[in-house]
């Protein structure tokens, strides 16, 4: 946005916006400080003195103008300026509170830290908001064209890339399930040897980054899927294999935890009516374990869909590749492309993890599943 501002707007308009922000932000800070200080003092019964709060805040406000301008000239860095400004406010504020509210050092100090912690993020956010509003007011065309660009990027990423991404995710997750569930059963019900095998697998595929796995299978073993005719599909299959292997290692943990959460008495009762271990697993333990595994599993879904973003390194055209392409073709829009991409991934992960997350576990406990 700032970059585009420079390109599109004139120096003068930028200067005006700067002035408006420099004035409005301290005023916002002052108002918030007043409100916060008054409420805090009232709560702590320091004497609800509106006048005292007003004096303190004015005395904080006035020197802030020149100090901030001076600081922004000395250090051209906004972080250092802000940090020094906060420290300055706390020091000055502590002294003023000690004088006017007649409080001890410790109380004043804590009080000011709390006030600053409240003021700083609020004014920052409000300042940003003001800035955006001003930009929209002064440069409506630019804003409009930015929105159009965002829409283009999004449709490129989403419409073109989402199919492949979802395919990779689905098959990777399924593969992981096919690997993870048997592994978990091996670890819980198997003997020492099976346990050791499963544990070894887990350790191996949890310890290697996905990207390296993808490189190994896609480029390192290109003929692994020799029976697939189209070479691109071979790479696709290799990527899915890499994703499945890694996901399997994590899903094994998820299912192992879920199976162990099922009451031991369930297995006992199932065997007591004559079920073999396998039947008992199938009809009693696993139905409950799988329900218990849903929250962890929805988390795994989020991980796998993010893992698919590595696939573009080996030539798969999925969402990240589209954003990358766009960003390299229009470097000044790199931030925008990546931002839209990030939001897209977020839209895929957030609703599902919220839906199938912790709320599910509570519902299940109410049913009596997974108390042990």
Partner 1 sequence: MEVLKGISFKVLEREVKVIFGPSGSGKSTLLRCINMLNPPDKGDIFLRGKNLNDPEINLNAIRARIGMVFQHFNLFAHLKAIDNVSLGLRRVKGFSKERARAKALETLDRVKMVKWADHYPAQLSGGQKQRVGIARALAMEPDVILFDEPTSALDPELIGDVLQVMLDIAKSGTTMIVVTHEMGFARAVASEMIFIGEGVILERGTPQHFFISPKSERVKKFLEQLDILYGGHDKLLQHSNGEGSK
Binding site for partner 1 (CB under 8 A): 263, 265-266, 268-276, 279, 283-284, 287-288, 291, 366-369
**Which is nearer to partner 1, 247 or 361 (by Cβ)?**
361
Residue 131 CA to residue 18 CA, distance in Å, equals: 9
Q: Least distance to partner 1 from the beta carbon of 273, Å?
A: 4
Round to whole Å and give the CA distance between 320 and 326.
Answer: 10
Radius of gyration of the chain measured on its C-alpha atoms? 30
- Between CA 37 and CA 94 the distance in angstroms is 12
At 113, list the tokens. 């830290």
Of the two residues 203 and 277, which places its CB atom closer to partner 1 in the complex? 277
Taking the complex as a whole, the smallest distance from the CB of residue 256 to partner 1 amounts, in Å, to 19
DSSP letters for 114-127: HHHHHHHHHHHHHH
- CB of residue 237 vs partner 1: minimum separation in angstroms? 37
Nearest to partner 1 of 49, 261 (CB atom):
261
Dist. CA 233–CA 242, nearest whole Å: 14
| DSSP-based three-state secondary structure for 281 | helix
Give min distance, CB of 294 to partner 1, in A.
Answer: 13
Shortest distance (Å) from residue 365 CB to partner 1: 9
If the CB atoms of residues 82 and 266 are measured against partner 1, the closer one turns out to be: 266
Three-class secondary structure of residue 81 per DSSP: helix
In terms of CB distance, is 162 or 275 closer to partner 1? 275
CA distance 41 to 26: 22
Q: What is the DSSP code (8-state) at residue 262?
A: S
Closer to partner 1 by CB, 53 or 364: give it.
Answer: 364
DSSP state of 372: -
Q: How far from the centroid of its chain's Cα atoms is residue 232's Cα?
A: 32
Task: Please give the backbone phi and psi of residue 228, each rounded to the nearest 5 degrees, phi first.
Answer: -85, 130
> Is the CB of 140 or the CB of 371 nearer to partner 1?
371
HSE of 29, CA atoms in CB hemisphere, 13 A: 25
Burial class (CB in 10 A: 0-12, 13-18, 19+), 130: middle
Please, which residue, 191 or 274, has the CB nearer to partner 1?
274
CB 278 → partner 1: shortest distance, Å? 10
User: Closest approach of Cβ 24 to partner 1, in Å?
Assistant: 57
Tell me the closest approach of the beta carbon of residue 269 to partner 1, in angstroms.
Answer: 4
């Amino acid at each position: 946005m700032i970059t585009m501002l420079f390109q599109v707007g004139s120096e003068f308009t930028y200067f005006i916006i700067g002035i408006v922000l420099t004035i409005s932000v301290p005023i916002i800070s002052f108002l918030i400080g007043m409100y916060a200080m008054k409420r805090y003092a009232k709560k702590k019964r320091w004497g609800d003195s509106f006048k005292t709060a007003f004096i303190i805040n004015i005395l904080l406000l006035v020197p802030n103008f020149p100090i901030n301008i001076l600081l922004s000239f000395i250090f051209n860095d906004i972080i250092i300026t802000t940090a020094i400004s906060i420290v300055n406010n706390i020091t000055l504020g502590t002294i003023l509170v000690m004088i006017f509210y007649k409080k001890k050092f410790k109380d004043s100090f804590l009080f000011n830290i709390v006030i600053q912690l409240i003021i700083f993020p609020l004014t920052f956010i409000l300042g940003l908001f003001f800035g955006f509003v001003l930009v929209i007011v002064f440069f409506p065309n630019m804003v409009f064209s930015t929105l159009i660009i965002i829409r283009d990027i999004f449709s490129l990423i989403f419409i073109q890339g989402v199919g492949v991404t979802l395919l990779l995710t689905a098959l990777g997750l399924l593969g992981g399930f096919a690997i993870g569930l048997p592994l978990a059963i091996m670890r819980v019900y198997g003997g020492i040897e099976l346990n050791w095998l499963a544990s070894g697998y887990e350790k191996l595929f949890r310890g290697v980054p996905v990207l390296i796995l993808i490189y190994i299978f896609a480029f390192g073993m290109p003929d692994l899927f020799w029976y697939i005719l189209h070479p691109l599909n071979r790479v696709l299959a290799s990527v899915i294999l890499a994703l499945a292997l890694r996901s399997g290692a994590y899903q094994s943990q998820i299912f192992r935890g879920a199976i162990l959460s099922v009451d031991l008495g369930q297995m006992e009762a199932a065997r007591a009516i004559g079920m073999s271990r396998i039947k008992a697993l199938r009809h009693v333990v696993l139905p409950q374990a799988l329900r218990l595994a849903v929250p962890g599993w929805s988390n795994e879904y989020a991980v796998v869909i993010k893992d698919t973003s590595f696939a573009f390194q080996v030539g798969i055209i999925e969402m990240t590749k589209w954003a990358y392409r766009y960003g390299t073709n229009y470097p000044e829009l790199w931030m925008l492309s990546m931002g839209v991409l990030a939001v897209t991934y977020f839209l895929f992960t957030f609703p599902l993890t919220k839906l199938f997350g912790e709320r599910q576990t509570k519902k299940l406990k109410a049913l009596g599943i997974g108390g042990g």
